[in-house]
Amino acid sequence: MILINTVDKMPNGEFLQEKPEVQKKHKLFGHKEAPGPSIDNINALSSELSLVGRRVRVLEERYNTLRRKSQVTEQNMVTTNKKLMTDIKTLTTEMNEIKKEIEGIKGTLRQIIEELKKNAKKEEVKILEKYVNLWEPIKFVTRNEVEKIVTEIMGEKKE
């Protein structure tokens, strides 16, 4: 039996210990010799198992860390969503109140416009001013004053 040493490379770039391979050689009567476990094979297998164990632990830690991060992210999303929903409800009620106030203001403005339509326009007031100045109502006489003047004039004629 002839042993040939080879070096295996792991996916992470590390090299394993030398692993002997058994080259089979036929004996005279055609019987093949079965290789038995050697100490080098057992040591290589043991180191590979410990390496795999370390990798599994690292992967488990990474998995647990990712799971915790996802749980924290999910909780944050839930609380943020609840806060946003309450903010949206608050804004909706405020918008509804503002809409009601705007409708009230619109109604008041409509009433003011209707009242202003009933009032006289500037041109109409100027026309009335011209007539008042033309007639001079201050110089008008009341009925009592006319009767008094008439009685005075009649009293003068009798004399």
Residue found under tokens 């370390």: 54
Please determine, for residue 142, whether its predicted confidence score (pLDDT) is greater than 70. yes
Query: Domain boundaries in the chain?
Result: 120-159
84-135 residue pLDDT tens: 999 999 999 999 999 999 999 999 999 999 999 999 899 999 999 998 888 8
Task: Decide which of 15 and 51 is more confident.
Answer: 51
Spatial CA neighbour of 36 closest among 51, 25, 48, 20: 20
Q: What's the average model confidence in pLDDT over 42-66?
A: 95
pTM reported for the whole predicted model: 0.46
Pairwise CA distance, residues 125 & 132, whole Å: 10
Say how far apart CA 74 and CA 67 lie, in whole Å: 10
Could you report the per-residue pLDDT of 5-40, keeping only the tens digit for each?
444 455 555 554 444 444 455 555 655 555 566 888
First and final C-alpha spacing in the chain? 180
Q: Look-up: residue for tokens 């991060």?
A: 69
Rounded-to-integer distance, Cα 105 and Cα 93, Å: 18
Tokens of 7: 């070096």
